[in-house]
Chain A
Amino acid sequence: EIVMTQSPDTLSVSPGERATLSCRASQSVRSNLAWYQHKPGQAPRLLIYGASTRATGIPARFSGSGSGTEFTLTISSLQSEDFAVYYCQHYNNWPPLIFGGGTKVEIK
Chain B
Amino acid sequence: EVQLVQSGAEVKKPGESLNISCKGSGYNFLTSWIAWVRQMPGKGLEWMGSIYPADSDTRYSPSFQGQVTISADKSISTAYLQWSSLKASDTAMYYCARGVYMDVWGKGTTVTVSS
A residues whose Cβ falls under 8 Å from a Cβ of B = 1, 32, 34, 36, 38, 43-46, 49-50, 55-56, 85, 87, 89, 91, 94-102
8 A–B contacts from the bound complex (CB under 8 Å) = A32-B101, A34-B102, A43-B95, A43-B107, A49-B101, A97-B35, A97-B61, A102-B45
| Most chain A CB neighbours (cut-off 10 Å) among B59, B95, B102 | B102
Contact of A46 with B46 at beta-carbon distance under 8 Å, contacts A95-B61, A96-B62 already known: no
Question: Is the CB–CB distance between A97 and B105 below 8 Å?
Answer: no
Interface size class of B (residues with CB under 8 A): 20 to 34
Contacts of A100 in B (CB 8 A): 44
Contact of A91 with B101 at beta-carbon distance under 8 Å, contacts A44-B45, A97-B35, A101-B44 already known: yes
Question: Is the CB–CB distance between B47 and A96 below 8 Å?
Answer: yes
Give the CA-CA distance A55 to B107 in the complex, in Å.
Answer: 19
Provide the main secondary structure of the chain A interface: loop
B residues whose Cβ falls under 8 Å from a Cβ of A = 35, 37, 44-47, 49-50, 59-62, 95, 97, 100-103, 105-108
Question: Is the CB–CB distance between B44 and A91 below 8 Å?
Answer: no
Query: Shortest distance in angstroms between B71's beta carbon and chain A's nearest beta carbon?
Result: 17
Q: B59's contact among A36, A94, A98, A99, by CB below 8 Å, is which?
A: A94
Contact of A97 with B47 at beta-carbon distance under 8 Å, contacts A43-B108, A46-B101 already known: yes
Query: Shortest distance in angstroms between A56's beta carbon and chain B's nearest beta carbon?
Result: 8
Contact of A102 with B44 at beta-carbon distance under 8 Å, contacts A95-B59, A95-B61 already known: yes
Closest residue of chain A to B6 (Cβ to Cβ) is: A43
Question: Is the CB–CB distance between B44 and A43 below 8 Å?
Answer: no
Question: Is the CB–CB distance between A91 and B100 below 8 Å?
Answer: yes
Q: A87's contact among B45, B49, B100, by CB below 8 Å, is which?
A: B45
Contacts of B49 in A (CB 8 A): 95
Question: Is the CB–CB distance between A1 and B105 below 8 Å?
Answer: no
Known A32-B101, A43-B107; further 10 A-B contacts with Cβ < 8 A: A44-B95, A44-B97, A49-B101, A55-B103, A89-B45, A95-B50, A95-B59, A95-B61, A96-B61, A97-B50
